[in-house]
Structures are given as C-alpha cells and as structure tokens.
Structure 1
Amino acid sequence: MKDGYYISAFVCINELQNIMNIKLRHDQTIALWRCDNGYIELVRYWELERLSGYKHHARALYNMEAFDKLLDYLLGKEGLRRSDVLAIWGTEEVETDTMYRDFFAYTGIAFHNIAHLLTTLFYGNTDPFKDTILLMALDAGPDSQFEKNAYELDYYSGGIVQDGSLQIFKIESPARLWSCAAKKLGLQEGTLMALASATRTKYFSDISRFKHLKFTSQEARSSASYIIDDLYNKIFSITSDEIGKKCSLFDPAFSDIENRMSMLMKMVSDISVSILFQNIDSICMTYGIETRSTTLGMAGGFALNCPINSAILKKYKFKAYQIPPCASDTGIAMGIGLAAFYPFIKSGLCQVDISNAYYGDPIRDLDGAVNRYKDVIKSVDSVGTDEIVSDIIDKTAIVWLSGNAEVGPRALGSRSIIGDPRQMRTKGLLNAIKKREWWRPVAPMILENEGYNYFFDFCRSPNMLLNFNVKQNVVSSIPAVLHFDYTARAQTVSEISNVDIWKLLQEFQKRTGVAVLCNTSLNDIGEPIVNTIEEAIVFALHKGMDAVYCNGNIRINLVIDQNTLGVSAPLRNHHFFHVPDGVDSNAVIKKLNPFGLNVREVTYYFDNPNIFHDYSLQDKEGAEYVRSETNTYLGKYPTGLNR
C-alpha cells in the first residue's frame, strides 16, 4: 500500500436521480484516509447531511463535475488537492478499482453488509486477529449500487475471528422488522425504540407463532411485512371492552395510538431478541465459542438499539463489545475503506486504529464566524469550566460545541445541548427546544469512574449504545434522564474519550454531588446535527438561547431578537447538490424520462439493474415494462418505495 491519501465515497451521481430526487443510498458519506509507513489513519469523515442540511442525505450529485467540486471543497479544508489522492473507492462513476469488494465476493453476501461487518471488526481494535470475536452485521438490506445483482445475494453477514482467521457466513437480521414498522407507523426507528419502553402497556400474545418465519435475505422483507401487518391489525382492532383482556390496561399518560404503537413495538423487540439469540446460539455451537472469553461486534442500523444491545450482553456475558458510533449506513464509507485496506492489514503490512467517534469537521474560523454575526453578538468571553457549570445550573440548558464533530447519528458531547439532570423540567425544555414528543428520553453523560454508583450491570459505553437500569438511591437526583422503566441510555465519559466534557462533569459533580449531565443532539426536528459555529449561532438565536459555548473555554453572548424566534434554520451548503446553473431541469427530464415515469417507477428502475439491464427509460417498451414491474412490486409491498 503506497503512502498517501485515499478516498472512500458512499454517494450517488446521476442527472435524472438528482433532478427527480431519486433516493438509492441514504446517509451518504465520504472518508479521507492516509497511509504512512504502514499506519492507516482515518483523517476526516464527512456525513453529507451535515454539509447539505438534508436529513439522512440521500440526494444524488448531478454529475462528475458536481462530485469534483464537492471533493475539491472538502479536500481544500484539509489543505489538500485532488492530485494528493491516490485512489477512490465506493461509487461506480468515480472509483479507480473494485478490488476492495472483489476480495469478499466469495462470501456470496452483498458488499453493503460486508462493509458494515468490517466497521465492527476494526472499531476500537487495532489487532482483531489476535482476539476471538463474534460479529453480526444487522441492517435492513443492501443497496444495488455496489453489485447489480445485490438483491440476488445473501443480505446479512456474521463472522467469527478465531485463531487468526476470519470466517464469514450468512445470518438472520431483525432490522427489516423495524424499517417496516417505521413505514407502517410513520415514526423513525429510534422513536419507536423509545416508545416501546415508554409505556407499561402490553399485548397478550405469544411470539412463538412467528417462529417459522425466516429473516435471511429476501425472506426478511416478506416475514417482516407479515408480522407487522398481523400485529397492527390485531392491536389496532382491540376495542375498549377488550382492553384488560387482550392487552393490559392503557397507560393514561399516553394517547390511545401511542399505547397501541408501544404494544406493537414491544412485540417487535421481543421477536428481534429471539432472532439474535438464535444467531448467537447457532454461531457458538458451530464454532465452539465460549462467550465469556469472546468479544461481541455488531454494526448495521439495528446495532443502535440500546435495549437489545444490553439484553445480549446481559445474557451472554461477552468479555467486551465493539460497536462503531456510525453503525448505521453512516458507516458504509468507513467500511469501504477498510475493505480496500483489508488484505494489507490481514497480512500484517498495515495497521489501522479507529478508536473514537470524533472524526468529523473541527470548529474552524471562530473569529470569522464572530465577525460575520457581529450584529447579533453582545460579546465574546473567555470562561472557565466553573462559569459554564453555573450557567447550566442557572439556564437549565446550553448550546455546546467542542473539537471535532462526532460521526454517526448520536451527539456525543461535541455538538450537543447540555442540561441539568436534577430537574424534570430540563427534559421538558429540551424536548420543547427540539420539537419532540414529550415522552422522548434524554440521555445522560456520566463520568466513567462513577457509573457503578448509578447503574446496575454497568460497563463502559462511550458511544451511547447501551441501556442501564438505574439504582433506586439515585433516581431522585437525575429525574431528567430516566426512561419510564427506570433505565437510561448513557454515554460514559473519561479524560481520554472527551476531555472537555470530562472537565465539565468533574466540575458539575464538585458543585452538585451529581456526576451526570443531560445530553441531546444539537439540532431541530427533521434537521441534521449542527456542524459549524455559524450554524450553532443561528440555532441558538432561533431557539432564544442567549449564548453558545465553544471548546470548553469560550462563551459567545447573543442578542435575542423576537423576530428570529421559532424560525427554521436555512439549509447549509446544499448548492453542491443543486441542478447546475443554466440547466433546464424539465428539458433534461423530457430527454431522459420521455414517457413520464413517476418517482417511484424511476426509483424502482435505478434500484434494480439486475431486472432492467436490457431496458431503457428512453424506449417506450422499456418504460412500459418498468411501470408494469413497479406496479407488481408495489402490489406486494405497498410501502416498499417510500423513501
């Protein structure tokens, strides 16, 4: 592997996809790597949603020129030029070779999922081949942009690292249950995860009646649809007279529909746990694994499910676990790069160290931002940690930015709203600021060395990926971070993992006796997490928050204007993803889609190159065939193209 810089890009590039907003890859990302004398460094990790402002960014770039402009912009921020990049992988239109995925073709598993598997193999483990690791890549399904026959391959991979070798095999994944439920109920998977444990309401039914259903590859879609439809029809048809007979009494704090959704998602959680326990039992039996001497590795969007992660660790007593903070498709660009480097790492020629969550953009040009917003800034003060803690206590919550942005969907103390956990009103305030449901939980950040004093079955959780049961003697001191079942989705903090937050927690504990702070992501509903100091200033102004705290020692005091309150933040650098100036969008559509196929039909066309490789949208016969096949598909999966 030559010394120099490399790019792995999980993006889409296509004129018609751009104009019609055809979504083939969501959570698009670009990774910048550097190889130096056998050491591979992840230099920077760009989640395009934080650049564009499009949540779960799925928009294609218009053409190669648009990609070049975007990459030049990103590299320029790092003081680099395109000529510094030795290779690009991950996107057909720009990649320099495909060896990164050819190496894993023997598995018969779609590369999208293999990319997930590699992120958990190497996250937090510089030499995994000296360990024994049980791996599971648990996403909903592949994308068809790596292999044209992706949907004909196996979808989900497991792995065992044992005696210096990696064995990869197919497993089952419950993730499709959650994506199917999200489409059915109109709420995102993370919200449904929280709602499952928010109420005490339970549906009286045995999940064993679904035991015959399989969740491997394409069967997962039909199995998930069957289960969600079955549960939905039964739970939502319960009459008032049947409450207390077919289900427990409804939780009066929640609406009728919230009680029913909570019951459904409890069932989905139980089925998911059953699937994963079967996976683990089967792998352990096949490979003679003892879990107490084995590390657990998980990735894929499902690995963000904190209660189920904790249930696995509690049952099997794995010696350790490794789950990347970007377990969702935000991690695919990372997995692409790791696949390209894999032969060199496995042979011992190279080593990679991905040990934290903070690979996003740093805080740049603070002075310039202050100058650009000088009309709404009262003053800029140098402050100590003690003053910031006083402000948290006095104001209940503050806007906080520090160092490099975290990667993945959860704020981990770099782009956060931080609050006082000792008051229940903090939870209400934070949910109001973010326009979330009143019952949504707020996560605690806790000093790692204090975790055992607050939680049962405590272990290190720097990426907020586990749930802990809260000890009764501390319940009254941290009411704002408790779930309704007295659990908490905690982020543990040490001096090594995040020094600025560690100092803040130390001072807060010194002042209050509580080693916990509230943490929620710095974003409004439907928006990506704030990335820059300018965006943080705009967010604070719109929310009526009178200061922004930067790098643990700077306070930017703002002038609150009633005219800006409640105004949504503008999109960010979305111009990279616009149709270029001078291009007539209607003329392009007429040329590339002359027979007027709709968004779902064009999506199905681009998403299934294995079906339509001999057909063109510019041909009448081809367009009619696409329309017919799309209708057939939607007849079977009505929400299958809702993106």
Structure 2
Amino acid sequence: MEDGWYLATYLNPAGVHRPLDVYFRHDNNISLWEKRGRYVTLLRHWEYERTTGQKMHRTPFVAHRDQVAFIDRLLAPTGLRLADMTAVWGTPDLAAGAHPWVEPDTDLAFHSIAHLYSAILLDSDVFFDGTVVGMAVDAGPDRLLDRRFKPHWYAGCVVRRGRVELHPVESPGPLYCEARDHFGLREGTLMALATATGATGRCDREAVLEKCRFDGFDGMAQAALAFREILAQVTGTADADPRFTERENLISAVMKEVQAISVAIMERNTERLLDVGGVDPAAAHLALAGGYALNCPTNSHLMDRYGFRGLLAPPCVGDSGQSIGIALEAFHRGSGGERFHFRFPGPYLGSEDGDLAGALARHARFVESVTDDFDPAAAVADLREGPVAWFAGRAESGPRALGNRSILADPTSSVAKDVLNQVKRREWWRPVAPVVLAEHADAWFEGVRPSPHMLETFAVRADRRARVPAVAHLDGTARVQTLTRAQNPLLHRLITAFHAATGVPMLCNTSLNDKGEPIVDTIEQAMNFCLRRGVRVAYFDGRRVAFRDFADYPERNPAERVRAPFTDVDPWEALRVRAEANPHGLPGTHLYLYLRDLELHDRHDIRTAEGAAAVRAAIDRRLRADPDLWVEVERDREETARQFENFGGAEVVNGRVPVYRVSESSR
C-alpha cells in the first residue's frame, strides 16, 4: 500500500434512500488515518451523532455533494479534504482509490470481521507476536459491503503471530434486542435494572440453550423463541422487591435470566475457540467487539473464568467503531499480512472546541464568574458541593464518557448518585460509574485490571463500600474506568487532589448529555445543559465557570446541533434525485423493496426500461404472494421517517433495520 491519508467510512448512501426512508446503518462514523512506511496512525474518529444531535445517527443525505461537504467540514481542522485521501473505504458511493479488501472466501459476514479487527489489532505487537482469541457479537450484519446475507453473522477468531483463523460464533445480541423491543427500554437500561432489584424468577436455562442456536438469519427466530420461553417461565414466579414497581420487578427478573443465558452463550463461544485453536488462555489476550461487548459483567466474567492475559476492546465497540475496524482490516490485507506498526492512541479522537470566549459572550447574562487558572483545591470544594460539568480537549470515542465530556461528582455521598440521576432525568436506581486512579485501583476493587474504556465491572472491596456509596451497585460491583496520568493529565490531577483531601482516589463519572441526546460536542451545548439542568459550575480545559439565574434561562431544550442538512430537505431536490434514480416510475413500495433487497438491486438496473420492468414483475409477485407486505412496508417507512426527523428529542428505542422476506439467493 502506498503512503498517504486514508478515510474509512461507515455511512448510509446518499441519494434516493432519504426520500424513500431507507437506511442500512445506524451509528454512522468516519475515521482518518495516515500511513508512512510501516507505521499506521489513527488521527481522528468522528461519530456523526455528536455533530448532528441524532442519537445513533442514521439519517442519510439526499445529495452526494452534501455528504462530501459534511465530511469536508469534519476534516477541516486537520487541513485536509476528502479529495486529499489516497483511498476512501467502507461506503459504496464514497469508495475511491485502491481498496485492498476483496470479499473473503468465507461464509462470515464482513460486518463482524470488521468488528473483530477493531479489537484484535489494537496493539500490533500483541497481534504479530502473541495469541489472541477474538469474538465480534452484536445484533446483526451490515449488507452494504457483503450485498447478501452470509450463512454466519458473527465472527470469532484465533490469531497466532499475525495469522488470523476465522470461525463462526453465536451472539446474545438478538436476545437482548428481543427484550429491548418487548419492554421498550434500551439494552443499557435493561442491564442496569437487572442488577438494581432483588427480584428473581425461575427459568430452565439449560433447556433454552440446548434448544436454540444464535447465529445467522434463522438465529433471529431462535432468539425470539428463547425470549418467549424466558418470559413465560419467569412471569408469575418473580420475587418482589418492595422498592420497585411490579413491572420493574418483572423486567429485572427476566433480564437476570437473559443475562445468565447470554453469558452461557459467550462461554460456549470461548470454549469452542479455545478448543479448535488449542489455545491456553493464560498465554492469550481476549478481544471483544460488537454492541454486546458493552456488557461489562460478561467481559469481566470471561476474563476471570478463563484467565486471559488481558482484554483488547476499543471504547467504540459497537457500530460507532466500524470505520476503525474496516480500516484495520484493509491495512492488514493491503500489507499482504506483513507486519506493520499500529497502537490505538486512546479514546480522545473526536472534535474539540476552543471557543470559550464566544460561548461566554453569548451566555454572559448567566455567568457569575470565570477563573482562568485551574485550582485543584477549588475544584475539590466544588465537587463536595454538587456535580460539576467537565469539558476538555477532544471528545472521547464511544458511548461512554471517559473524562473529556463528563459530569463528575463526589462518590462518598449517597446523595450524589440521586442528584446525578435527577440532573440527567434518569431512573433513581440507575448506577453511576467511578473513574479511579489506576495506581490506587487495587486497594478499592477486587481483582481489578486496567480498564481505560469502562468495559469491565469489578467488586468494590467489602471494607471500602461504605466509603463510596454513590458508585457501588446493589451487587457490590462497579463499572470501573481506570485512569493514568499519561491517559488524561488534567483529570488525573483533579482526582489526585480529591484523593489528598478525602482519602478516596476516584470520582463519579457520567456522560455530559441530557436524556435522549448524544454526549455534548461543543462548549455551547455544555453551557446550555448546565443552565437548563441547574449545574452550578463547569470546567472548560481547566477554566472554572460559575453560573447563576438558572430560572431565567429561556431555553428548555438541548442546544440544536447540525441538523439542517438532514432535516431541511428541498422537495425539488428530492424529486430530482428520485426521478434520476427511478426514470421509469416504479411505485413507492416497489422502489422501497428494491432498495432494501440488495441482491435484486445488483441484478437489475431500474434506470433501464428492461431492468425496471423486471423489478416491477418480481415485486408484484411478492405482493400477490404476501398481501400484508404492502401494509408492513408503509408502517416501517412511517417509523423510519420518524427516526430520520428525531434530532435531540425522545430517545429512539427500536433501532432495528427491517429485514423483509428475501430471495434465497440473497440469504
């Protein structure tokens, strides 16, 4: 591969997909790379949701030129443009330059392979010199690169000294999706509620595991069957925790069983990979990616049970990290498997904002004071009084605040958790994570390991729990972020001062965002949050800003982000794009199903009269065979249109892309 700048993208195609309400990917993101000789460097990673305000961003552009302009806007601080890239990977209508990726001779979905690479190649020394057991486990595949459903949706691997052996695995992701859709709560909320109550129920876990396999197209039906079995068995047997409602007790009891079965699926995967690879886990690293890898209790359980040397997982383990995996797979393939040097640079890869002066001027009426020099003692005093907004440097990648877009609080006060949940408008039982000085973590948590991306849970030592009631869950564990001075010097300095004053080397750390919106991206958005939610003090790159007169602040909603290019669609432009893509006038339902069925799309070009006629005939046959299909399509289009227009509003719970009855060849 030649030296230069590379851009990996995980985006929805621009064009007729927007007016037809079609999308394939959520959590759209891009990453910028530089290659010089044998050295590969990840320079930036942008998640669209941070810029646009659409949680799990999925809305496409109508015009390709708007897509390019948006990317150029993100690249602008680096002095680069899309046209400067040696190659652009990952999104079909943006692909440019030589692409080393050729569809592997495998029945595994490339989406899962990209997830794998985002974890197994975090450290090239480990990858090329050691042994790695990897698993990519999420809800389902992305077909924009594969163009068809592969037999196996989830990839595992054994890596020995840079040689990757791929194997299919199962995923608990669809099982969690079934719970999400049934209860109308996001997966993270379900995980938290599972451990928040004492409610339990009875379920024959072994029977469910023996009956169901969780892989491939048929795995969705297996997951639905498994969830119905769990729900039916637990309903009526759940013990009640008097602090919670009847519904919360049922959900908690069901999710305890879902979690236990999910862990067993991951054990089944791990043991199969260890066996087929003849691997001693004590001499290997465990690599995890895919949305299910946000399940911290599972990650820690696998590490503890099998005794792996270490955990490899990026902060953006879900689809928001797909562009990183696409690029690392491409660099590995493009190098012909030869060694190159790469080390993940840490999570702070997003946008930065240095316009404090401008934000202060716009909010002058509500600013009480500004202190330029960072005073750790004053910051500790602020933390003892209440939550503090903390905004510094570049935004972190992934869904969890890791100290640059955070709300920090005093972990020694049981009131702190309640206040944080009130500020964030979350349920009272939601746990709060600690960020702890790495050099003191072992004194406070049992069996703790480096956990820089908040992807593991550890038990708070029994003799310490009373000191940190704000971060200890009902089961005595906490979702821990360990922090070194090198990782984040300013935050490390603050926690060190808090430790000196209180004897506790940690702080509560939760994300700086309101309910239903992504983590803030700019100082303007952070100030808006503080003034709406009554956070009295914020620190911006160490500069202290105190606010006042909260009741007079006129805004009641989160600050609007860059939504206009996605929501202010010119109807004439939409008509032009549609006419250009569909000159022979296929009806809306036909066009929608054509775009969704990529096998049919690749076989026939509807811009020709012959192709349009063939597609019309094929879809007419489907509609005659399935009279309910038209109604289903229109319902899903309405739901997608609502999601496309939802920027900074109520959180979208059901994030599934519809999977319609497809031809055998596309499966």
Taking structure 2 as the reference length, the TM-score comes to 0.88
Measured in 2, the distance between the counterparts of 1:439 and 1:390 equals 27
CA contact under 8 A between 2:127 and 2:161: conserved in structure 1? no
Q: In structure 2, what is the Cα distance between the partners aligned to 1:301 and 1:100? A: 26
| Cα contact 1:114–1:137 (8 A) shared by 2 | yes
Shift in CA distance, 179/312, structure 1 to aligned 2, threshold 3 Å: same
Residue in structure 1 matched with residue 446 of structure 2 by the alignment: 456
Please report how far the alpha carbon of residue 547 of structure 1 lies from its aligned counterpart in structure 2 after TM superposition. Answer: 2.9
Distance 1:17 1:626, change over 3 A: farther
**1:356 positional shift:** 1.2
Query: Does 2:375 correspond to 1:384?
Result: yes
Q: 1:391 to 1:192 in 2, by over 3 A?
A: same
Residue 488 (structure 1) aligned with residue 486 (structure 2): no
Residues 295/406 of structure 1: CA separation in 2 closer, same or farther (3 Å cut): same
Give how far 1:232 is off: 2.5
Provide the rounded CA distance (Å) in 1 between the counterparts of 2:252 and 2:217: 27
Inter-partner Cα distance in structure 2 for 1:252 and 1:603? 49
Q: State how 1:234-633 maps to structure 2 within 5 Å.
A: 234-236=233-235, 238=236, 246-247=237-238, 249-344=239-334, 347-348=337-338, 350-382=340-372, 383-394=374-385, 396-551=386-541, 553-564=542-553, 567-581=556-570, 583=572, 585=574, 597=588, 605-611=594-600, 613=602, 621=617, 624-625=620-621, 631=628
Q: 1:353 to 1:88 in 2, by over 3 A?
A: same
The Cα shift of 1:528 comes to: 0.5
- Quick one: structure 1 residues 328 and 315, their matched pair in 2 at CA, closer, same or farther if it must change by over 3 Å? same
- Choose 602-611 or 36-45, whichever is displaced more: 602-611
CA contact (8 A) 1:34 1:42 kept: yes
Q: Counterparts of 2:548 and 2:412 in 1: how far apart (Å)?
A: 28
Question: How far apart, in 1, do the equivalents of 2:629 and 2:264 lie?
Answer: 32
Kept in 1: contact 2:23–2:657 (CA 8 A): no
| 3-state SS, counterpart of residue 145 of structure 1 | helix
SS of 2:572's equivalent in the other structure is coil
C-alpha separation in 2, matches of 1:541 and 1:491: 28
Cα distance, 1:466 vs structure 2:
0.7
Question: Which secondary structure does the structure 2 equivalent of 1:66 belong to?
Answer: helix
Which stretch shifts more, 281-290 or 403-412?
281-290
Of 186, 193, 196 in structure 2, the residue corresponding to residue 195 of structure 1 is 193
User: Match for 2:43: what amino acid?
Assistant: V
Is the 1:13–1:63 Cα contact (8 Å) retained in structure 2? no
Q: Secondary structure at 2:211's aligned position in 1? A: coil
Q: Secondary structure, in 3 states, of the residue corresponding to 1:567?
A: coil
Amino acid at match of 1:470: V
CA shift for structure 1 position 274: 1.1
User: Aligned residue for 1:166?
Assistant: 164
| Closer/same/farther in 2, CA of residues 82 and 275 from structure 1, 3 Å limit | closer
Aligned CA distance change for structure 1 residues 356 and 92 (closer, same or farther; 3 Å): same
1:8 and 2:11 matched: no
**1:345/1:352 contact within 8 Å kept:** no
Distance 1:602 1:528 in 2: 32
Q: Judge conservation of contact 2:124–2:341 (CA < 8 Å) in 1.
A: no
> Is 577-586 or 208-217 further displaced after alignment?
577-586
Q: Distance in 2 between matches of 1:387 and 1:158?
A: 49
8 Å contact kept, 1:6–1:85: yes
Q: 1:363 aligns to what SS in structure 2? A: coil
> Counterpart of 2:218?
219
Q: Secondary structure at the match of 1:276?
A: helix
| Residue 88 of structure 1: aligned partner | 88
Shift of 1:171: 1.2
> 1:72 maps to which residue?
72
Residues 170-228 of structure 1: CA distance to partner in whole angstroms, max 9, x if unpaired?
11111111112111111111111111111111111221111131112123211111111
State the shift of 1:113 in Å: 0.8
Distance 2:316 2:389 in 1: 23
Distance 2:630 2:290 in 1: 25
Give the whole-Å Cα distance in 1 for the aligned partners of 2:393 and 2:508.
19
Query: In structure 2, what residue type is equivalent to 1:17?
Result: H
Distance 2:459 2:326 in 1: 36
In structure 2, the partner of 1:117 is 116
- Cα distance in 1 for residues equivalent to 2:516 and 2:533: 15
Distance of 1:180 and 1:565 partners within structure 2: 40
**Cα contact 2:458–2:480 (8 A) shared by 1:** yes
Are residues 501 and 119 of structure 1, via their aligned partners in 2, closer, same or farther at CA, if it must alter by over 3 Å? Answer: same
Is there any run of 5+ residues in structure 1 with no aligned partner, and where?
Answer: 239-245
Alpha-carbon contact 2:100-2:334 (below 8 Å) kept: no
Within 2, Cα distance between the matches of 1:625 and 1:160? Answer: 45
Aligned residues: 627
Instruction: Give secondary structure in 1 for the equivalent of 2:500.
Output: helix
Q: Distance in 2 between matches of 1:361 and 1:548?
A: 19
The CA distance in 1 between the partners of 2:575 and 2:566, in whole Å, is 17
User: How far is 1:584 from its partner?
Assistant: 5.8
Distance 2:484 2:336 in 1: 31
Q: Aligned pair in 2 of structure 1 residues 537, 107: CA closer, same or farther (>3 Å)?
A: same
Distance 1:2 1:100, change over 3 A: closer
Counterpart amino acid of residue 383 in structure 2: I
Unaligned runs of 5+ in 2: 607-611, 637-653, 660-667
CA–CA distance in structure 1, aligned partners of residues 104 and 49 of structure 2: 30
Match of 1:243 in 2: none
- Match of residue 241 from structure 1: none
Task: Report the Cα offset of residue 605 of structure 1.
Answer: 4.5
Secondary structure class of the residue paired with 2:105: helix
Q: Hey, what's the Cα distance between the residues in 1 that align with 2:467 and 2:40? A: 44
Q: Deviations over 1:302-359 (max 9, x none)?
A: 1110011111111111111111110000110111111221135564463222141111
Q: What SS is found at the alignment partner of 1:146?
A: helix
Please tell me whether the aligned partners of residues 295 and 455 of structure 2 are also in contact (alpha carbons under 8 angstroms): yes
* SS of equivalent to 1:115: helix
Counterpart position of 1:17: 17
Residues 450-491 of structure 1: per-residue CA shift (max 9 Å, x gap): 111111121111111111111121111111111111111011
Superposed CA RMSD in Å reads 2.7
